[in-house]
Chain A
Amino acid sequence: MKILVPIKRVVDYNVKVRPKADESGVDLNNVKMAINPFCEIAVEEAVRLKEAGSATEIIAVTVGAENAQEQLRTALALGADRAILVETDLEVEPLGISKVLKAIVEKESPNLIIMGKQAIDGDNNQTGQMLAALMNYPQATFASELKIEGEKAVVTREVDGGLQTISINLPAVVTSDLRLNEPRYASLPNIMKAKQKPLEVIKSDDLGVDLNPRISTLKVSHPPEREAGIIVESVDQLVEKLKNEAKVIS
């Protein structure tokens, strides 16, 4: 079984980003970049399937600028076998990304695509579902458990009310939730080995995919600030404030 893992380069989850002073966008000057945490979980799941003998090859793919090669190298260090960068300097929206990924899926014919449920920059939570639609594949989003059973995958999904289990025909798209696994750290020897693994660069133009944006960002602003509160001295004072000042309990 061949697994494709689309990943995204994003601002590290520890960084608290802010809008640019002129509100024209997000200030990304000198911020630390990383592989999107949900994509890291997706890579880990693919690696575990390979270690368990269910998968034979793992291909990591990203759509982005040249420097996104760093995150592909991370995926290779975690255990992907080879990587593809679809290079573009455009900021591509999920619909465009899913069209590029469709072209890659058609080229590589993976049996399974595992990706993140959400990129923590735009918080869109769209790309996996869109790719599944374009391929007419089934989807299992927000996965917390994945089992391959012959020509099907049985997936437990984290839903609002609890957990749901579905069975989907392969090929399929699965998107990872936080509890799918705990990703390993790449070891130094594996980081070194990753440098030798194949990384193919394809120009997005060569795929003939429509990447024109459908959405324009008019401005990026600060969220409403909360006014500073107070530190109370005791439980008594807290209860008194909640009753008489905030009037949220009676």
Chain B
Amino acid sequence: MTALVIAEHDNNELKVSTQNTISAASKLDGDIHVLVAGSECNSVAEEAATCEGVTKVLYVDSKEYENFLAENIANLIKNVSGDYSSILAPATTNGKNYMPRVAALLDVAQISDISSVESEDTFQRPIYAGNCIATVQASDSKKVITVRTTAFDAAAKGSNSAEILKLEELNDAGISEFIKEELAKSDRPELTAAEVVISGGRGMQNGDNFTLLEGIADKLGAAIGASRAAVDSGFVPNDYQVGQTGKIVAPNLYIAVGISGAIQHLAGMKDSKVIVAINKDEDAPIFQVADYGLVADLFTALPEMESKI
């Protein structure tokens, strides 16, 4: 029984979400191989080989994997899937994009967004925006799984030196083409991996007011997130959205500012260790999940907080 973990990376660095996924794979009995597919990403393969629990790295280096187009990556994964009993990827936008394609090519079901491994074939996963937890058992002989990264600690890195096997697998499906990417550049920690997250909602009123959050984020080393309403209103870019249909976060400290606490937002942050809510409406549902609630106008509370931390 061997599990294959598909590495998430940017051709330069391995993403922590890969380590979370390795850790989920380690809950299944057996060896763990990691597939690193990309372009000029030798350093990523080397990094993956140092992750605890990994016994082999499959490394495929070619232009057509550079931008992780689903058509090319899915064909590749199908071709190397041979004897693996399970294939796991993080439930990032990449993993969510290519993994169901892999599952369909293999004619097996996908188990999405698992939050716990109960046994070889049984998993837990949140459904209905996390209002219910389903325990599901998969009957396919090959399990195709995406992993909720916040539910699994990152496997340690740096201690191991697994074998790296270079493969020549060319799979340009020729039906899709990468044009461009506009990726936000930020010195802040990544939202899904940050220890502290401070998020703003519609109550922030506009994008400029997010500077009020930045001051606090600077002091706490926090990532900045947002509700859907703040993203839809154009205050901040789409990649800030926390929630059922955005990013899932579970930091040590989550501070929700001017966010009402709709089911869909709670779905993305209610596993945080400590939740703080700042809202001027004492009846806002966010207070029902907050460890510490402050009923206040954010425009006075935030500057005061920044000066006192």
Contacts and interface: CB of A to CB of B under 8 A. Distances in A.
Interface residues of B, number: 89
B203 interface: no
Interface string A111-123: 0000001101111
A134 B66 CA distance: 24
Interface stretch (A57-65, A79-87, A196-204, A231-239): A231-239
A216 interface: yes
Contacts of B256: none
Given A125-B96, A235-B308, A215 B137 contact: yes
Interface residues of A, number: 82
B176 interface: yes
Interface stretch (A47-55, A68-76, A183-191, A222-230): A222-230
Interface of A: 11, 13-14, 16-19, 26, 38, 93-95, 98, 117-118, 120-134, 136-142, 144, 154, 157-169, 172, 177-179, 214-223, 226, 228-232, 234-236, 238-239, 241-242, 246, 248-249
B165 interface: no
B138 interface: yes
B231 A179 contact: yes
A167 B253 contact: no
Contacts, number: 258
A38 B109 CA distance: 22
Contacts of B92: 160
B41 to A, nearest CB: 16
A246 B103 contact: no
B167 interface: no
13 contacts: A94-B110, A95-B110, A123-B112, A129-B99, A130-B100, A130-B104, A136-B175, A158-B93, A164-B178, A215-B109, A216-B136, A226-B289, A239-B305
B128 A121 contact: yes
A216 B137 contact: yes
A95 B253 CA distance: 38
A172 B70 CA distance: 13
10 closest cross-chain pairs (CB), A and B: A129-B100, A133-B104, A214-B109, A130-B104, A126-B100, A229-B291, A161-B183, A138-B176, A138-B175, A248-B253
A231 B112 contact: no
Nearest to A154: B179
Nearest to A231: B293
A95 B106 CA distance: 11
A139 B294 contact: no
A242 B274 contact: yes
Interface stretch (B24-32, B45-53, B156-164, B232-240): B232-240
Contact of B238 (A133, A162, A229, A246): A162
A216 B252 CA distance: 34
Contact of A129 (B101, B238, B293, B296): B101
B75 to A, nearest CB: 9
A238 B181 contact: no
A134 B276 CA distance: 46
B265 interface: no
Contacts of B99: 129
Given A26-B127, A222-B132, A242-B292, A231 B287 contact: yes
Contacts of A93: 109
B108 interface: yes
A18 B132 contact: yes
A222 B133 contact: yes
